[in-house]
Amino acid sequence: MARTSTPLRPVTILEVAAQANVSKSTVSLVLQGSGLIREETAERVREAARKLGYVYNRRAAELRQKSASNTIGVIINDLMNPFFAEVLVGLERKLVDAGYTMLMAHTNEDLKLQERVLQTMREHHAAGIALCPTLGTPASLTRTVKSWGIPLVVMVRTLGNGSYDYAGSDNAAGVEMATEHLIAAGHKRIGFLGGQSGPVLEQRLQGYRAALTKAGIALDDKLVFAANPTRAGGYETMKALLDLPRPVKAAVCYNDLAAFGALSALGERGLRAGTDFVLMGFDNVLDAAHSNPPLSTVDIRPRELGEQAAAILLARIEDPTQAKRQYLADPRLVLRQSG
Amino acid sequence: MARTSTPLRPVTILEVAAQANVSKSTVSLVLQGSGLIREETAERVREAARKLGYVYNRRAAELRQKSASNTIGVIINDLMNPFFAEVLVGLERKLVDAGYTMLMAHTNEDLKLQERVLQTMREHHAAGIALCPTLGTPASLTRTVKSWGIPLVVMVRTLGNGSYDYAGSDNAAGVEMATEHLIAAGHKRIGFLGGQSGPVLEQRLQGYRAALTKAGIALDDKLVFAANPTRAGGYETMKALLDLPRPVKAAVCYNDLAAFGALSALGERGLRAGTDFVLMGFDNVLDAAHSNPPLSTVDIRPRELGEQAAAILLARIEDPTQAKRQYLADPRLVLRQSG
DNA sequence: CTGAAAGCGCTTACAG
DNA sequence: CTGAAAGCGCTTACAG
């Protein structure tokens, strides 16, 4: 009777060895693709494994080898933001290409949860961790993870001034470009919409201020509205901006998501972005090309950012002693309808 | 000298045992939270573990127990679609609450990749798999995974007529409601925009046809435009619809994403959804509340869908013999500006 | 090129 | 309540 697949008693290399008439060491060598075994024998082993429905037991192998697992932990703080979804896709692609599997966790800006998933990844012997840190993460975290012996790449948000592997974007330069673009179009009163306090907001705000300063425009605090970097945040702050006694006709947003919300608010007031009001986003998520109207924004290629983060992490796993690496996406203005 | 954290030689229960002056069995029992050990002893063990920086070695434990890992494989076909991102967030939340870690993979509609990640999850001894199948996945896959001894829940897309755990939505009923809403508003020529061929498109199209039939409106094939369920797809098909010789002023979209693209096309033509044209989406992703204008759509609560999928999978893991379970999100119309 | 033996870090009966 | 011993499925020197 043919052996049907019974999950009850998984096949081990011992059975494969018996079937192929070799010792289990030989089977092990073949499975690892060692060149030490005669091709004829190797084929017989592979045949036996196939026939018996053998499944490689990673845990046993890793335990014996005392090696890290082939998983990489990825911690994202806000998956609902398409920017992070795009980063994630880029990251994942590179990781599976390199033979890794992704352990994914979503922290939703919850520091306690972040601690927990970090611990879990440690227990899983993750080969590396890509972390987009929750707001409020202590700068010492990079050292902590290092002390665990796990390579780490920090993404998007910086973590203090220490030196660590990092993939992000030049936020200040990007927003400065966007702001300058509006200034060049003749605007003097330019709003800034959205963004939670944190390193990224600081950097982007700095770019905003730099552009104004260079143009000799005084900073007007009443024009900057912090808010959650969400559609809702952009929507509310745009309405607040439009309600200002002295009219404003231009704004740069913390990110595209906020800009989409702002577009919605503009529409609600019967205003059309690009003609009645000029608006700049930041990120250039896929959606920006097909919003209503299409969004002018600062392109930092989210997907490539994820790929670069993966490349840095992979290189670090390869060589733990190499110098720290940084990738800072070079911001590029992409002009569409809105601005 | 105090022991500093050296990742080089991980601490084992043997060392903890020595430190606490007990045998390693006792340590093991304490770590598992067994009530067999006197609290005083247990505390001494925990103290020793803490002091030595002991990290639980899951692999060794799982290997010995021959148990599944505490990971759950989640396979998503399109993370760029906020609908799936929301499903994922709901799913992940429930999973970590139950003490699991998520192995995440993105297939991007690539069948070969799906096979590969499924194998990987098998090798990892995933405790369960939540799969949103790639288009073209054979219906037999549910049986295959079952034969591996791994609980499976299928999400969103059905997989043949077999009986299996499933979480999705009542697509036909949802689109029928949306279409009826447009008919009730007096429209007779109603477009259908976007959607790749597959079970979901079939179901939604069926709802569209059912509503027309009930209202005694003849189906006009020239009004249905299949396309990728993306913003670009919605954008292109809306333009094609508007270019039809006989004007059309209403459409239901395959999903919200396509609807957003359609909104963009409408704006480009100087048309305002809600007044010049009425448009319905499907899904009710978060973005729908703040599009320009806010989108009327069919709410299937993506996040809850993910939570339900997790609940079904968790229940199956708990009791592999229980009857098949299905969750079909009950569609609800949410009317905003566009329709 | 192949086989016998030890051991990765845990858990689990089994005695005591 | 605690300890000694076996074993999970692999890999890795070490002989031959």
Whether the CB of B31 is less than 7 Å away from nucleic strand C comes out as yes
Specify the nucleotide whose C1' lies closest to residue A58 (CA). D10
Q: What is the pLDDT of residues B283-329, one digit of tens each?
A: 999 999 999 999 999 999 999 999 999 999 999 999 999 999 999 99
Mutate to test the interface with A, among B13, B97, B101 (most CBs of A within 10 A): B101
Q: How confident is the model at residue A8 (pLDDT cuts 50, 70, 90)?
A: low
Q: Please give the angle made by the CA atoms of A4, A5 and A9, to the nearest 5 degrees.
A: 115
| Amino acid sitting at position B213 | T
Q: Count CA atoms within 13 Å of residue B165 on its CB side.
A: 25
Q: What is the pLDDT of residues A55-71, one digit of tens each?
A: 999 899 999 988 899 99
- Select from B59, B86, B291 the Cβ nearest to the Cβ of A59: B59
Contact with chain B for residue A94, Cβ under 8 A:
no
Q: What is the pLDDT of residues B124-155, one digit of tens each?
A: 999 999 999 999 999 999 999 999 999 999 99
Nearest CA in chain A to B11: A148
Mutate to test the interface with A, among B290, B303, B307, B317 (most CBs of A within 10 A): B290
C-alpha–C-alpha distance, residues B285 and B302, integer Å? 7
The set of strand C positions with any atom below 7 Å of a protein CB reads 1-5, 7-13
Paired sense of beta strands A166-169 and A152-155, if any: parallel
Mean pLDDT over each residue of chain A, to the nearest integer: 93
A57 to B267: CB separation less than 8 angstroms, yes or no: no
Rounded distance in angstroms from the CA atom of residue B76 to the C1' atom of nucleotide C5: 45
Instruction: Look at residue A216 and tell me whether its pLDDT is greater than 70.
Output: yes
C-alpha–C-alpha distance, residues B131 and B334, integer Å? 28
Size of interface A-B (CB pairs under 8 A): 166
Tell which wins on pLDDT, A10 or B239: B239
Instruction: Look at residue B246 and tell me whether its pLDDT is greater than 70.
Output: yes
Runs of H (alpha helix) within chain A: 13-20, 24-31, 39-52, 58-65, 82-97, 111-123, 141-147, 171-184, 199-214, 231-242, 256-268, 302-318
Average the pLDDT over B44-66 and give the result.
Answer: 91
Q: How confident is the model at residue A257 (pLDDT cuts 50, 70, 90)?
A: very high
Contact with chain B for residue A78, Cβ under 8 A:
no
Instruction: Look at residue B40 and tell me whether its pLDDT is greater than 60.
Output: yes
- Determine the pLDDT at residue B8: 54
Nearest chain A CA: its distance from B232 CA (Å): 7
Q: What is the pLDDT of residues B158-170, one digit of tens each?
A: 998 889 999 999 9
C-alpha–C-alpha distance, residues B140 and B147, integer Å? 11
Rounded distance in angstroms from the CA atom of residue A23 to the C1' atom of nucleotide D15: 15
Q: What is the pLDDT of residues A70-114, one digit of tens each?
A: 999 999 999 999 999 999 999 999 999 999 999 999 999 999 999
Q: How confident is the model at residue B5 (pLDDT cuts 50, 70, 90)?
A: very low
Contact with chain B for residue A287, Cβ under 8 A:
yes
C-alpha–C-alpha distance, residues A69 and A98, integer Å? 13
Residue nearest to nucleotide D13 (CA to C1'): A25
Percent of chain A past pLDDT 90, that is, above it, reads 85
